[in-house]
A = this chain, B = another copy of it.
Amino acid sequence: MTAARHDVLGIGNAIVDVLARTEDDFLVRHAMRKGAMTLIDEARATSIYAAMGPAVEISGGSAANTIVGCASFGGRAAFVGKVRDDGLGRVFAHDIRAAGVAFDTPLAADGASTGRCYVLVSPDGERTMNTYLGAAQDLHPRDIDSDAIAGAAITYLEGYLWDPKHAKDAFLKAASVAHEAKRLVALTLSDAFCVDRWRDEFLDLVRSGTVDLLFANEAELHSLYQTADFDTALAALRREARLAVVTRSEKGCVVASRDEVLAVPACPVDQVVDTTGAGDLFAAGFLFGLAQGAGHERAARLGALAAAEVIGHLGARPQTSLKALAQERGLAA
């Protein structure tokens, strides 16, 4: 194993967020599940967009947000994901590169337009997401550069990759290359309904050791083990996962392995403006910490710090330097 070129390489659906504030009755009227990510087709995308209020376009995508967070901590970060060479695709490519992330996936010259997530932010800060995958559908195994994967200390994958038809194969190729190179593979379960769609395959990934590190929030964990009891789910997780982190919103997180269960508190937040990206940024801090050789507790504190920053403003990417924040709190050199 040679020295890593990147600390973290993420693979995910490349998406531009279209964010608007909303009242909860809009969600009810349009039959949306509050807090969930729902996949939509182009026709539904058009009708939701026509009905929703004035919006702001910000580059998003769960794993992409995480990778931008890693870069904001000062980590060497890379991202793989598919956009089209159209207006929003160029916005996505600009933003991720401008954040200091290596992004070399070729933009598609034709096919579906760049993926969009219509994010409706409720007065309580909760976000309800409607995703039109668009060009992200076209991520293929050929987009996975084996040298890049082998050169990353951690390859980070999102559960959402199970939705587009070829991305799953890209995912498995990357995991296999990473393990051959003796690197770590991490997975986020992404969303409770995504777990519902792909439960058996996600359990296989954990049990087979395809995934070394699992990120889940409480709803995703409960969905994975089909139980409403946290302790039951956590016990099952500890039996099966090498290392897992369960995020619990304002209750903080639990780092779980066979030998240990470590609870780390959340960072206080003045005002929850928009929870979009909280989980993504938690993962950023934890992954950056691990790649730097931090213990689980410091890694979790870095995660909590990044999550607190991102829920204090609209949008799922940090607006301040996470490196500077971590230094202020004595969590980084």
Q: Supply 19 A–B pairs (Cβ within 8 Å), ascending by A.
A: A20-B98, A49-B94, A50-B94, A52-B98, A54-B59, A54-B68, A54-B94, A54-B95, A54-B96, A54-B98, A54-B99, A54-B317, A55-B91, A56-B315, A57-B57, A57-B58, A86-B87, A87-B87, A87-B113
Count chain A residues whose beta carbon lies closer than 8 angstroms to a beta carbon of B. Answer: 26
With A20-B98, A55-B91 known, 10 other A-B pairs at CB within 8 A are A49-B94, A52-B98, A53-B98, A54-B59, A54-B98, A54-B317, A55-B95, A56-B57, A56-B58, A86-B87
For the complex formed, measure the closest distance between the CB of A116 and the CB atoms of chain B, giving whole angstroms: 10
Q: Which B residues lie within 8 Å of A96 (CB)?
A: 54
Q: Which residue of B lies closest to A116 (CB)?
A: B87
Q: How far is the CA of A99 from the CA of B57 in the complex (A)?
A: 16
For the complex formed, measure the closest distance between the CB of A163 and the CB atoms of chain B, giving whole angstroms: 23
Is A21 in the interface zone, CB < 8 Å from B?
Answer: yes
Q: Which residue of B lies closest to A20 (CB)?
A: B98
Is A88 in the interface zone, CB < 8 Å from B?
Answer: yes
Q: A57–B98 contact, CB under 8 A?
A: no
Q: How far is the CA of A275 from the CA of B20 in the complex (A)?
A: 21
Q: How far is the CA of A315 from the CA of B57 in the complex (A)?
A: 12
B interface footprint on A254-280 (CB within 8 Å = 1, 0 otherwise): 000000000000000000000000000
Q: Which B residues lie within 8 Å of A56 (CB)?
A: 56-58, 315
Q: Which B residues lie within 8 Å of A86 (CB)?
A: 87
Which of A's residues lie within 8 Å of B, judged by CB? 20-21, 49-50, 52-59, 68, 86-88, 91, 94-96, 98-99, 113, 315, 317, 319
Known A87-B86, A87-B88, A88-B87; contact A94-B319, beta-carbon cutoff 8 A: no
Q: Which B residues lie within 8 Å of A315 (CB)?
A: 56
Q: Which B residues lie within 8 Å of A50 (CB)?
A: 94
Known A21-B319, A319-B21; contact A55-B94, beta-carbon cutoff 8 A: yes
For the complex formed, measure the closest distance between the CB of A50 and the CB atoms of chain B, giving whole angstroms: 7
Q: How far is the CA of A98 from the CA of B98 in the complex (A)?
A: 30
Q: Which B residues lie within 8 Å of A317 (CB)?
A: 54
Q: Which residue of B lies closest to A318 (CB)?
A: B54
For the complex formed, measure the closest distance between the CB of A88 and the CB atoms of chain B, giving whole angstroms: 5
Q: How far is the CA of A54 from the CA of B17 in the complex (A)?
A: 14
For the complex formed, measure the closest distance between the CB of A239 and the CB atoms of chain B, giving whole angstroms: 41
Q: Which B residues lie within 8 Å of A319 (CB)?
A: 21
For the complex formed, measure the closest distance between the CB of A21 and the CB atoms of chain B, giving whole angstroms: 7
